[in-house]
Structure 1
Amino acid sequence: MYQINKLVPVFLLFLFVLGFWGCDIIKIEDRPDPNNSELQNIIDNPSRSDISTLVAGTEAGLRTELRIYHINVGMIGREMYRFLSAEPRNTGDLLGKGNAQLDAGSYYTTRPWASFYTVIRNTNIMIQAATALNNDGVYSAEELNAALGYARTLKAYQYLMALTQTNENGIREQVEDDIFTTGELLSKEASYQLIANLLDDAAANLTNAGPAFPFSFSDGFANLDTPATFREFNRALRARVEVYRPQPDWDAVLTTILPESFIDESADLRFGAYHVFSTATNDLLNQVFADPQAGSGDSWVAHNSWVEDAEAGDLRIDQKVQPRNEQAALDGLVSDYGLFVYQSQTAPMPIIRNAELLLIRAEALAQRNAIGDLDAAENDLNVIRNAAGLGDFSRGAGGQAEVIDEMLNQRRYELFFEGHRWVDMRRYDRLNDLPIDRQGDEVWVSFPIPENENISS
């Protein structure tokens, strides 16, 4: 495997492809494209090196708007605040201040969507190019399956990121074999079905791949960089998708999905797939790293309730926040704790990791039938608790409901600022339980679809 800084030169093709689509990511099929012949040549007459370039560009593109995405879901989920005096929409629009609404044309809506759909189109280009290589006899059937499994898995992941924000507003499908044609805007359930089907198709591709990929990954996929182990990553994402669905199949999570992932109660909770960063020229730094003591001009802070509600002795408090020397304040909001989940400019950010899988299994065990398999659910919760320096959880008279509450609580602390709290409270219809710090503020349920589905803002 190569280091992330080797993504820098090959990221140029990703930017090259990005340039084909101007401002409107959806309606380009009716627009003449002076570069179309060059792009068509990549699709019709690719080389092995073209595929490698597309792979690296795809992975690099996954990181493009992570800062905006995590501010969006972190602030609405009342995990954190970004106090940036130059950007009042953070503490205004995102928190529903006064008469504020989420704006379908604002950067916080358009830029993440554009980033996700640019990667989706990149994966579709890769799928067409890999198929052409197979048709030309350059790629074997196993190599084609490896490429398809990789591309479809990451495409599904980007669809899921978009759907996490838009929720009941759904997402739009991109046609896999024609990058200049788009499909329908799908309902929420149809969107989840699209993502689940993509991941299942990708898993089948990876099953039929050979022992190695015909291209390399960055270190973000260390130990998940063969078709067999990348399939475990695929199944991990599939488990997340299933629990996020309006009507999860808990038995499928437990019997057919999670067992094929990298879940392991005896392994490091941090093991998984990550976005990685570097200080190399033209590469990206971790976009959500900030000095926890930064002044009021731009402060990244934890919501005070995250510390105040914590169980005594929880080691994660000191690991993820720092008490501030001076209270941060802006727009009628305050915090006494600097955000410190990512402690350097090159700290990796998880895509999905072992701790989340154990918490998914605990949730499925607690939910699998009318009464749940509560003892087994508690065992998984205790793996998480013990790693955080806490004693075992033992349910009282609350039974199943108490175990579900504890599962959500452990997700709150273990997965803090990893993009889950808002989703968790939404899927359990508990958004009203999130703290409101100013009278009249709102907790939004979803983001609008971008009004013009712009690729830039």
Structure 2
Amino acid sequence: MKKIVILYIVSFFCGVALLTSCKKEIGNLNNPVIEDYLNNATKPQLDNLVIGTESGMRNNMELYLEVVGVIGREMYRFSGSDPRYVTDLLGQGTEKVLDNNAFYLTNNWNARYRVVKNCNLIIQATNTTNADIPAATKKGYLGFAKTIKAHQLLLNLNLTYTNGIRLQVEDPDNPGAFLGYPESLTAIASLLDEAKTDLTGATIGFALSTGFDGFKDAAGLIKFNRALAARVAVYRQQWAAALTALNESFFDLNGSFNLGVHMVYSTGPNDQLNAAYFPKNRGGEVRVAHPSYVTDILPGDDRIGKATVRTSTASSSDGSLSSNRDVWVYTSSTAPVPVIRNEELILIYAEAKINLTQIPDGIVALNRIRTGHNLPVYAGGITVAALTAEMLYQRRYSLFFEGHRWVDMRRYDRLNQLPIDRAGDDVWDKFPKPLTEN
């Protein structure tokens, strides 16, 4: 951690389209330093940190989606400027290993820890801020920061898996030790629980973007927090805990699939566009669906629309890989990217019910997904094994290019079921620790 340059994503986001207004009493805009925020921080300063935290969540998200999508054989990324998308990430060659200092790891890792740093700064500043800010308002800042921090840590843990992550990084010169995978998940779950406690009875006195519409008060943020807790619970195979968390979240079996919290983008000055969007039929730099996305999909499944037919087949520079389907999940440069949404929660509910052998409830949830995507109701085997395969199918197509397929196949010990397209390729189960962490 010592060698990573920490950037504080703070006041220069004021006035961008992420939020439409920002107050002025926030100290030095051009050269903000930690002391500006830890020495009796004002409410506008804390608000400014919230803006920067939410904005920073978007940094390099397209890269995260690409690398887990490529390793998980959801898609190919053909890049004339960087062949590592089809060499390193696909494990080409018997001697090839993932590089612990390559962009596909370090850019993701650093982006997430920068947001964690901002969250830690909110927590530290809130705990040392002046008495003019009511206790209930302080609780709102703490609950938000801990919830986002947990989410960002989970994304990095998804990459390094059993190589673990650092949880204690408040002091970059003296970071805590790496924790293993189960210990990291436990710590993340505990952080979410702390955040829920903070949000209970809190007052939310800061602004959030439209990506939090419907979740901008304390009750809404608790529902968002519990949705993330349900995701962590199924990763830990704590099925009853997942259902408990769902009951406190925005889970709605009959609700809109897209209800949830999203990262939003705009064409406003100094704001970000969604870099996960590529126009259809693009040449040169392209994202295309893995051919198996089409060969494995059931007839009539409307999620085929997430992989649209190209006017010409795209191929890797060496011609060894090709696809005639564009990835078409984010259909404009301002399309939102979900942090978590109701369709995933319905599938978490199905997964928990199946693993608890509460089969009828699991089938009801799976049928909600099936009929919502133009498929007939489930008519397969009524066993845990058969329903697990069905659940993973539905997750594959419902959550395509949202960052889940590789993680799902790994946690069910099915990485060997992912397609190998060239002799000598490998399916990686994790990334190494970044070089800067060794």
The normalised TM-score by structure 2 is 0.92
CA deviation profile, 1:63-113 (whole Å, cap 9, x unmatched): 111121111100000001111111111101000011321100111111111
Aligned position for 1:26: none
Q: Which amino acid aligns with 1:301?
A: V
The letter of the residue matching 1:412 is: R
* Equivalent position amino acid for 2:185 in 1: Y
SS of match in other structure, 2:84 = coil
CA deviation digits over 1:337-359, x for unaligned, max 9? 01111100000000100000000
Given candidates 153, 163, 168, the residue that maps to 1:159 is 153
> 3-state SS of the aligned residue for 1:5?
coil
The 1-side partners of 2:366 and 2:49 are apart by 40
Call closer, same or farther: CA 1:10–1:118 in 2, change over 3 Å.
farther
The offset of 1:140, in angstroms, is 1.3
Q: Which of these residues, 288, 301, 305, is aligned with residue 288 of structure 2? A: 301
Q: Is the 8 A contact 1:358 1:380 kept in 2?
A: yes
Shift of 1:9: 8.9
Q: Hey, what does 1:71 align to over in structure 2?
A: 66
Equivalences for residues 381-420 of structure 1 within 5 A: 381-396=366-381, 399-420=383-404
Contact 1:8 1:283 in 2 (8 A): no
Q: Secondary structure at the match of 2:275?
A: coil
The answer to whether residue 50 in structure 2 is matched with residue 62 in structure 1 is no
2:141 matched to which residue of 1? Answer: 147
State the alpha-carbon separation in 2 of the partners of residues 390 and 292 from structure 1: 26
Query: 1:183 matched to which residue of 2?
Result: 176
C-alpha distance 409-381 of structure 1, shift in aligned 2 (>3 A): same
Distance 2:240 2:277 in 1: 38
Of all paired residues, the percent bearing the same amino acid is: 44
Alignment of 1:202-217 (within 5 A): 202-210=195-203, 213-217=204-208
Shift of the 298–205 alpha-carbon distance from structure 1 to 2, 3 Å rule, reads same
Aligned twin of 2:126? 130
Q: TM-score, normalised by structure 1?
A: 0.88
1:279–1:346 contact (8 Å) kept in structure 2: yes
Among 276, 283, 293, the alignment partner of 2:271 is 283
Residue 292 of structure 1: how far off its partner (Å): 2.3
The answer for the alignment partner of 1:374 in structure 2 is: 359
In the alignment, is residue 237 of structure 1 matched against residue 242 of structure 2? no
Instruction: Return the match for 1:269 from 245, 251, 257.
Output: 257
- AA matched with 1:81: Y
Counterpart of 1:429 (choices 400, 413, 431) is: 413
How far off its partner does 1:11 sit?
A: 13
Question: Equivalent residue of 2:311, what SS?
Answer: strand
CA distance in 1, matches of 2:52, 2:369: 35
Deviation at 1:426, TM superposition (A): 0.3
Aligned to 1:83: 78
1-structure distance, mates of 2:21, 2:49 = 11
Q: Letter of the aligned partner of 2:257 in structure 1? A: L
Identify if the C-alpha distance between structure 1 residues 309 and 279 changes in structure 2 by more than 3 Å, giving closer, same or farther: same
Q: CA 1:269–1:8 in 2, change beyond 3 Å: closer, same or farther? A: same
Alpha-carbon distance between aligned partners in 2 of 1:10 and 1:100, rounded to the nearest angstrom: 49
Equivalent of 2:111, from 112, 115, 121?
115
What's the secondary structure of 1:437's corresponding residue? coil
Which runs of structure 2 are paired with 1:210-359 in the superposition (5 Å)? 210=203, 213-245=204-236, 248-254=237-243, 256-295=244-283, 297-318=284-305, 320-330=306-316, 331=318, 332-359=320-347
Whether 1:5 aligns to 2:3 is: no
The answer to whether the Cα contact below 8 Å between 1:350 and 1:418 also exists between their aligned partners in 2 is yes
Alpha-carbon separation, structure 2, partners of 1:95 and 1:400: 31
Whole-Å Cα distance in 2 between the matches of residues 354 and 105 of structure 1? 36
Q: Distance in 2 between matches of 1:263 and 1:147?
A: 24
Partner SS state of residue 279, structure 2: coil
Aligned counterpart, 2:6? none
- Report the Cα offset of residue 206 of structure 1: 0.7
Find the aligned partners of 1:150 and 1:281 in 2 and give their Cα distance: 26
The DSSP-based 3-state class of the residue aligned with 2:121 is helix
Q: Which SS does the other structure have where 1:274 is aligned?
A: strand
Over 3 Å counting, the alpha-carbon distance change for 1:11 and 1:389 in structure 2 is farther
- State how far apart, in whole Å, the 2-side matches of 1:439 and 1:374 are: 40
Q: In the TM superposition, what whole-angstrom CA distance separates every residue of 1:281-302 from its partner, at most 9, and x where no partner exists?
A: 221111110022012x111100
Match of 1:168 in 2: 162
Change (3 A) 1:110 1:11: farther
2:314 aligned partner, one-letter code: A
| Alpha-carbon displacement from aligned partner over 1:7-42 (angstroms, at most 9, x marks no partner) | 49979999x99x99xxxxxxxxxxxxxx8xx42231
Deviates more, 1:39-48 or 1:93-102: 39-48
| 2: CA distance, partners of 1:304 / 1:442 | 17
CA contact (8 A) 2:242 2:352 kept: yes
Which blocks of at least 5 consecutive residues in structure 2 are unaligned? Answer: 1-13
Aligned partner letter, 1:435: P
Name 2:9's counterpart in structure 1. Answer: none
Select the residue among 426, 430, 434 that pairs with 1:446.
430
Q: Which amino acid aligns with 1:426?
A: R
Q: 1:175 Cα shift?
A: 4.6
SS at match of 2:85: coil
> Deviations for 1:123-143, whole angstroms, at most 9, x for unmatched residues?
11111111222xx21221111
Judged with a 3 Å threshold, the aligned counterparts in structure 2 of structure 1 residues 12 and 288 are, in CA distance, closer, same or farther, namely farther
2:18 and 2:265 in contact (8 A); partners too: no
* 1:360 paired to 2:345: no
Give the paired residue count: 421
Q: 1:281 to 1:364 in 2, by over 3 A?
A: same
